Structure 1
Amino acid sequence: MDVPGGLPADPLRRFLVAHAVPGAERFDAATGTHERVVPTAAGPVAAAVVLGAGERCERVLVRAPAPVLGEVAGLVRRWLDLDGGVAAAEAHLRADPSLAALVAARPGLRVPRSVSGAETALLTVLGQQVSLAAARTFAGRLVAAHGRPAGEGLLAFPDPGALAAAGPDALRAVTGLTGARSRALHALAELLAGGLDLDAAREAGEGPAARERLLEVRGVGPWTADCVALRVLGEDDAFLPGDLVLRAAMGRVSPAQALARAQGWRPWRGYALLHLWTAHAFAGVTGG
């Protein structure tokens, strides 16, 4: 698949490695190949996305079983934001002096989205108030306990129904989460198993309503809901003013200051967020 305008490959590779769920995903740094389980109408399948090892990626190779290759390729396009509004976002954000250098340093930076709304939402709850490394550990334990084989030695992330049936105490026992976080994970699994289809909400343009339903879950706050809005619901203007990494990248501002400063970035605050996150994670160009 061609990548319109290309993208900076290193930030994407680092993002994939940092978020890879043990047992369900793996990354080969030598070839820039990310393997993971992808949901399809025929069931979960193991697929591979080859980004290469170069500085920029102009073409993405997708490997998957032939009968579902087209479906998987479509999910990968959405996941990697290949058809997103990156050109319009960058044209708008370059007008802000605090972002212009970041956009110039990494043109084509996309917002990593999702291949499964339910999976991403549940993983976001696992990542609340902990490091990425801790979140991956929790997720790996969850997959080991409740995942299903999907080929190539990989396990599919557990269905919300399976997690809902397990109950919060069992989820706590297998993951090591706190009681409150286990209850939040279980409550979200029940909501998703009960009919909240985040991917369908995105397609129907019902992201704001879906976000409100997420906020009704005890233990799911604005940070989690906004992460899901950005990555799953396709809300390009989603913003996380309370995020610690974002606030540090903006010069250790308060959430209120971050929100106020970002008003001029609308309706592309999500892309600004990714540039600031990425700049903070890399040595070199900084903004804010």
Structure 2
Amino acid sequence: MSLDAASCYRAYQARDARFDGRFFVGVTSTGIYCRPVCTARLPKPKHCRFFPSAAAAEAAGFRPCLLCRPESAPGLSTVRSGQRLVEAAVRLMGEGCLEDGGIEGLCARLGVTARHLRRVFKSRFGISPVAFAQTQRLLLAKKLLTETSLPVTDVAFASGFSSLRRFNALFASRYRMPPTRLRASAAGESPATDAPGLELGYRPPYDLAGLLAFLGARAVDGVEAVEGGIYRRTVRLSRHGADHAGWIAVGQAAGKNALRVTVSAGLMPVLPPVLARVSHLFDLDCDPWAIADGLAGLAAGHEGVRLPGAMDGFEVAVRAILGQQVTVAAARTLARRFAAAFGEPLDTPFRALTTVFPAPERVAALSLDAIASLGVIAGRARAILALARAVRDGELVLSPAAAPETSLEALRALPGIGEWTAQYIAMRALGWPDAFPHTDHGVKKALGEADAKRALQRAEVWRPWRAYAVMHLWRTL
């Protein structure tokens, strides 16, 4: 990534939030690196070096600013092929793929050579994949030390380190202080709790109210709820053959361009993937102005609209099948029945959260009659079974790290999944920004078109952001 020093300095001087996460500023006179929105005293241009990532700044010997906290900077999502590969790699790292299988295992999941991955990583972040992952673990640890009261040992393991000794040594080497000193400096700022809260940044504008309204209208009773500006849901993730279940709560962080995410104790062993999925669900890596520019006026006045993602791609896919040719309310009723019948009970502090949505393995073992007994027509029951078996067997991957074209092809090959269902799943489960369900009734109505092919032709002007165009079209109904 090429950075023009003069342009970067002007953005830094203006504290322009649109550039937050796009670059980082290393100050040679202090040895500290900052976000471009940092409110500390502005250094002279001759003392500034600019880096495409926090990892690149740390590799150059700079340590993170304690004021602007680079670990809270938003990420950056894109659709260019090389950058899409990097984004997929980063997501898989967040899921623990690098720790589980090393660089070769990561590359096997991505279908590329290690040499190619290193090349595109160097181009985007100025650093190798392994060094990038190491910095991400350290920055998450720094966030946990600053924003929670978790014991240092728990911080180390929650951040992805397999050894407390390794964590202590690397933290002291990189940040020139032991973890306990940073924890002491933050003492009193975070209340003791079994459910620590963390902040995840975004680039403004951000229409959180609109996103919560979308999620709330589709919330599956027992699994998720939206109340008082807070989104809550149950979560289950598997790691190394063990299931970890718990709950999360997400709302606006007071006075900041960030969401506050509360995570229950049961999910701490899988904290990095939980946070990665929250980021996907709430589209926190979005660059709203770049997307608005690409929508040719469709987003004017509503640049903060986001693309709702998913905490669980399989769950969204099942709900999409249940929602075929029925109203949102009817789809929600069927999803509630499905979760109540086949999900697992979970104790939480919230009356609205009682159930974990069933895993693909559980659904794949069901009979057609068991699903149909809930009021699901036979064709859709067969589609759900085929979907569950494809996901269980690894023939279909429903996450933003998957190649969208490959996943779309696999979805279309399943019985009972047509273009609308495939494109909707691509929008939400895959996070594919160019997905476009052109046969959707609401899309055609908003465009004033009766013909789906004509709607598809008109959407060409919005490439590669057609999924965002869908959200704006639905907003106008």
In which range does the TM-score fall when normalised by the shorter chain?
Answer: 0.7 to 0.9
| Aligned pairs (5 A) from 1:104-183 | 104-152=300-348, 153-173=353-373, 175-183=374-382
**CA contact 2:204–2:288 (8 Å) conserved in 1:** no
Correspondence 1:257 to 2:454? yes
Shift of the 253–89 alpha-carbon distance from structure 1 to 2, 3 Å rule, reads: farther
Which one of 161, 174, 192 corresponds to residue 391 of structure 2? 192
Higher relative contact order (CA 8 A, sep 6+): 1
Aligned match of 1:285 = none
Tell me how far apart the structure 2 counterparts of residues 229 and 12 of structure 1 sit (CA, whole Å): 18
Secondary structure of the corresponding residue to residue 61 of structure 1? strand
Q: How far is 1:222 from its partner?
A: 0.5
The answer on whether the counterparts of 1:126 and 1:138 sit within 8 Å (CA) in structure 2 is: yes
Kindly state the Cα deviation for residue 139 of structure 1 after the two structures are TM-superposed.
Answer: 0.6
Quick one: distance in 2 between partners of 1:179 and 1:197? Answer: 22
Deviations along 1:253-279, one digit per CA (max 9) or x if unpaired, are 421111111111111111111111112
Gap change, CA 1:46 and 1:197, over 3 Å in 2:
farther
Q: Secondary structure at the match of 1:129?
A: coil
2:345 partner letter: P
In structure 2, the CA distance between the partners of 1:164 and 1:70, relative to structure 1 (3 Å rule), is closer
Q: What is the alpha-carbon root mean square deviation over aligned residues? A: 2.0
- Matched positions, count: 267
Which sections of structure 2, spanning at least 5 residues, go unmatched?
1-199
Q: Distance in 1 between matches of 2:204 and 2:473?
A: 21
Task: Give, in whole Å, the separation in 2 of the partners of 1:73 and 1:268.
Answer: 24
User: Residue 274 and residue 57 in structure 1: after superposition, are their counterparts in 2 closer, same or farther (change >3 A)?
Assistant: farther
The alpha carbon displacement at 1:143 in A equals 0.8
Aligned mate of 1:65, from 257, 264, 277: 264
Alignment check: 8 A CA contact 2:339 2:355 kept:
yes
Answer yes or no: is the 8 Å Cα contact 1:249–1:276 preserved in 2. yes
Distance 1:85 1:258 in 2: 26
Mapped partners of 2:469, 2:448: distance in 1: 15
Give the secondary-structure state (helix, strand or coil) at the position aligned to 1:213: helix
Could you list the runs of 5+ residues in structure 1 that have no partner in the other structure? 281-288
State the SS of the aligned residue for 1:203: coil
Superposed counterparts of 1:27-46, under 5 Å: 27-28=226-227, 30=228, 32-40=229-237, 41=239, 42-46=243-247
Cα separation, 1, equivalents of 2:470 and 2:256: 21
Residues 227, 155 of structure 1: CA spacing in aligned structure 2 closer, same or farther, 3 A cutoff?
same
Please state how far the C-alpha of 1:72 moved relative to its aligned partner.
2.2
Partner of 1:21: 220
Distance 1:183 1:147 in 2: 19
Q: Deviations over 1:17-39 (max 9, x none)?
A: 111011111221x3x11111123
Q: Which amino acid aligns with 1:75?
A: R
Q: Tell me the distance in 2 between the aligned counterparts of 1:43 and 1:147.
A: 15
Equivalent pair of 1:48/1:62 in contact (CA under 8 Å): yes
Secondary structure at 1:39's aligned position in 2?
strand
Does residue 248 of structure 2 align to residue 47 of structure 1?
A: yes
Q: Tell me the CA shift for residue 9 of structure 1.
A: 2.4
2:469 is aligned with 1:272: yes
Alpha carbons of structure 1 residues 18 and 104: separation in structure 2 relative to 1, 3 Å: same
**Secondary structure of 1:109's match?**
coil
- Give the C-alpha shift of residue 86 in structure 1: 3.0
Structure 1 residue 3, shift from structure 2 partner: 2.1
Q: TM-score, normalised by structure 1?
A: 0.86
For 1:203, the aligned partner's letter is A
Q: CA deviation at 1:71?
A: 3.5
Q: 1:107 deviation in Å?
A: 1.6
Q: Following the alignment from structure 2 to structure 1, what is the Cα–Cα distance between the partners of residues 263 and 423?
A: 31
**Which of 77, 82, 97 is the matching residue for 2:279?**
77
Runs of 4+ in 1 over 6 A off after TM superposition: none
Q: Deviations over 1:159-183 (max 9, x none)?
A: 111111111111111x211111111
* Contact 2:217/2:328 (<8 A) preserved: yes
Does the 8 A contact of 1:168 with 1:186 survive in 2?
yes
CA contact (8 A) 2:321 2:380 kept: yes
Change beyond 3 A, Cα 1:150–1:78:
same
2:401 to 203, 206, 217: 203
CA distance in 2 between counterparts of 1:279 and 1:192 reads 35
Partner residue in 2 for 1:284: none
Counterpart of 1:283 in structure 2 is none
Mapped to 2, the partners of 1:141 and 1:268 lie a distance apart of 34
- Asked if 2 retains the 8 angstrom alpha-carbon contact of 1:9 and 1:57, the reply is no
1:144-167 deviation digits (Å, cap 9, x = unpaired) = 111112331421101111111111
- How far apart are residue 2 of structure 1 and its match? 2.3
TM-score, reference length from structure 2: 0.53
Q: Find the residue that maps to 2:329 and give its secondary structure.
A: helix
Q: Work out whether residues 360 and 388 of structure 2, in 8 Å CA contact, stay in contact via their aligned partners in 1.
A: yes
Amino acid corresponding to residue 339 of structure 2 in structure 1 = V
Structure with greater Cα Rg: 2
